[in-house]
A and B are shown apart, each in its own frame.
Chain A
């Protein structure tokens, strides 16, 4: 028995070392964000900054605050839009039976499979025509479309666990479908909706391709800013590290809230 628990303890230590190695790149970037440019290029490199300083963050924010705000605005509003469309749709897919329901579900799923670049030209030309290039609204409209498949599938997989007898009972009591949706389904699936919300928020926050070609100055989001540190003759690694840390920190915090559901989140509920 003792031998067995010793083995387990050793395995745990091994797992802990692996985990540390796995997130070491993230820690390294976070540590580097507090270093001066001189330290970044020093050889041999030092693990911790000589003196913890936040000048990189100040420099970064001074120039890029509007873009960070863009990211926040677009992420929050598009998440709201996704929910407004997807929660009713998920209800429609779970509370009712109708012909070809399975096909409709699969059609929702296929939206998740579409390579965004394949729709780049229509998105770009259409938005240009209606004057929505480089605006928040233009970005939000497209982010919502990208979020719907994920949200519908994920929320559907949570709503399936509501027993149909509940709906039947409510119908017999003369409850309208709208009231069933608002008073029964939403409260009962609030956990699933919250999970889906976090996933949509993370994916919207992480999006690069759409803002890359749909914005140029005003509505630029933070991920686009991050790519701009490269390409010049010298890469401003210290600013890049600070920017990467700002970009990733909210994602990591949110991940801890949904860690139980990550598998179902990333497979749209098909694996629990």
Chain B
């Protein structure tokens, strides 16, 4: 009994080792989802870390890897949630239709546009305001002020969408009233296809500039003071200090913040759902909303799954790049 047990375990160890080595080699291209392990099962189960880690790993596995393959399978089916007929195999036709759909590309483009525009503006605003808060840092009340300043970023995203559609209402909104006081004509904001996307960017910037402000703040205060002294003695102008000292030195930290913003913008759903629902027309359609609509409005599970898989693949590419960057940041910061 014992002997048999050992023999099986040993061959298992060998198998698991080669599998582990294979996975470990592969894990460089496995996009961060598969942890490679190059040791045997027996050592794995005896390792004191295992009982602490296993529950969370299994749970997360069930909620990430399993859905991925489920979606992958579903995306190959003709599968309507409302139809009583059982799903039939459809091959790659869902993907074909997806890539033939203009709206899908509009959604991708809008998502990309919102992401790039928001992140750039958020960084410029965040970087500037970080300087402001550093300048007043030794006033005691400035700490409280800073906490109040950053409140928007914790506000429930759906509330952000709702409160701005209240404020930016073209007829009754307070914003157009305030603009009229200073002689600026009423703006359509969310209700016009030409301005809606920029209104979304505006709202996004309002909510997330404080985040980049905090990141820049953390990075800027860690710059050694003597660098500024030296620059001042050499007669450097302020823009030279920004370009030559500050930007290179905050780069790595800010990059981490920007990665998180890119990922979150890519998943953006709540704000758009609460303010424009992708309209007017298709002007603010974003990728998450598109996939959501295919499934839960048109009940087209197969097609929606194909969209979901593409979304996930893009997210994985972003994640892989991000993980590589974070991996070097998290341990060197």
Q: A: which residues have CB within 8 A of B?
A: 8, 11-12, 14-16, 18-19, 22-23, 25-26, 28-29, 32, 40-41, 43-45, 85-86, 88-89, 91-93, 95-96, 98-100, 102-104, 106-126, 142, 144-146, 148-149, 152, 177, 181, 202, 205-206, 208-209, 212-213, 223, 226-227, 229-230, 237, 240-241, 244, 247-248, 251-252, 254-256, 259, 262-263, 266-267, 269-272
- Choose from A43, A114, A227, A271 the contact partner of B273 (Cβ within 8 Å): A227
Please provide the 9 A-B residue pairs with the shortest distance between their CB atoms, ordered closest to farther. A145-B63, A92-B52, A89-B56, A122-B67, A122-B70, A92-B53, A96-B49, A119-B67, A118-B312
B59 touches A145 (CB 8 A): yes
Find the residue from A32, A92, A229 having the highest chain B CB count within 10 A. A92
Q: How near does chain A come to B330, taking the closest CB pair, in angstroms?
A: 4
Point out the residues of chain A lying under 8 angstroms from B267, CB to CB.
Answer: 115-117
Q: B: which residues have CB within 8 A of A?
A: 24, 27, 31-39, 47-53, 55-57, 59-60, 62-64, 66-68, 70-71, 74, 129, 132-133, 135-136, 139, 141-142, 145-159, 162-167, 172, 174, 177, 206, 210-211, 214-215, 218-219, 253, 256-257, 260, 263, 266-267, 269-270, 273-274, 287-288, 291-292, 295-296, 301, 304-305, 308-309, 311-312, 315-316, 318-319, 322-323, 326-327, 329-330, 333
B38 touches A99 (CB 8 A): yes
Q: How near does chain A come to B314, taking the closest CB pair, in angstroms?
A: 9
Q: How near does chain A come to B253, taking the closest CB pair, in angstroms?
A: 6
B156 touches A223 (CB 8 A): yes
Could you list 4 further interchain pairs (A-B, Cβ under 8 angstroms) beyond the known A89-B56, A108-B56, A119-B63?
A100-B24, A113-B322, A121-B308, A227-B162
Known: A12-B136, A115-B312. A121 touches B39 (CB 8 A): no
**8 interchain pairs (CB within 8 A)?**
A19-B148, A32-B166, A85-B59, A111-B64, A115-B287, A148-B56, A177-B52, A266-B153
Known: A89-B52, A227-B274. A107 touches B33 (CB 8 A): yes
- Choose from A103, A205, A229 the contact partner of B27 (Cβ within 8 Å): A103
Point out the residues of chain B lying under 8 angstroms from A29, CB to CB.
Answer: 163, 166-167
B296 touches A263 (CB 8 A): no
- A251 to B24 CA separation, bound complex (whole angstroms): 42
A85 touches B145 (CB 8 A): no
B53 touches A88 (CB 8 A): yes
A256 touches B333 (CB 8 A): no
Main SS of chain A's interface residues? helix
A213 touches B60 (CB 8 A): no
Point out the residues of chain B lying under 8 angstroms from A213, CB to CB.
Answer: 292, 295-296
B215 touches A240 (CB 8 A): no
B292 touches A103 (CB 8 A): no
Q: How near does chain A come to B148, taking the closest CB pair, in angstroms?
A: 5
Point out the residues of chain A lying under 8 angstroms from B32, CB to CB.
Answer: 103, 106-107, 109-110
- A15 to B71 CA separation, bound complex (whole angstroms): 49
| Residue of B with least CB distance to A7 | B135
B47 touches A96 (CB 8 A): yes
Known: A25-B167, A106-B327, A121-B308. A227 touches B158 (CB 8 A): yes
Known: A93-B53, A223-B158. A15 touches B327 (CB 8 A): no
Q: How near does chain B come to A195, taking the closest CB pair, in angstroms?
A: 13
A28 touches B167 (CB 8 A): yes
Q: How near does chain A come to B63, taking the closest CB pair, in angstroms?
A: 3
Q: How near does chain B come to A189, taking the closest CB pair, in angstroms?
A: 14
Q: How near does chain A come to B275, taking the closest CB pair, in angstroms?
A: 9
Q: How near does chain A come to B30, taking the closest CB pair, in angstroms?
A: 9
Point out the residues of chain A lying under 8 angstroms from B304, CB to CB.
Answer: 120-121
Q: How near does chain A come to B49, taking the closest CB pair, in angstroms?
A: 4
B154 touches A43 (CB 8 A): no
A102 touches B327 (CB 8 A): yes
B155 touches A26 (CB 8 A): yes
A266 touches B260 (CB 8 A): yes
Point out the residues of chain A lying under 8 angstroms from B167, CB to CB.
Answer: 25, 28-29
Q: How near does chain A come to B271, taking the closest CB pair, in angstroms?
A: 10
- A152 to B57 CA separation, bound complex (whole angstroms): 11
Point out the residues of chain B lying under 8 angstroms from A256, CB to CB.
Answer: 147
A25 touches B56 (CB 8 A): no
- A29 to B165 CA separation, bound complex (whole angstroms): 11
Point out the residues of chain B lying under 8 angstroms from A123, CB to CB.
Answer: 67
B260 touches A121 (CB 8 A): no
- A118 to B24 CA separation, bound complex (whole angstroms): 26
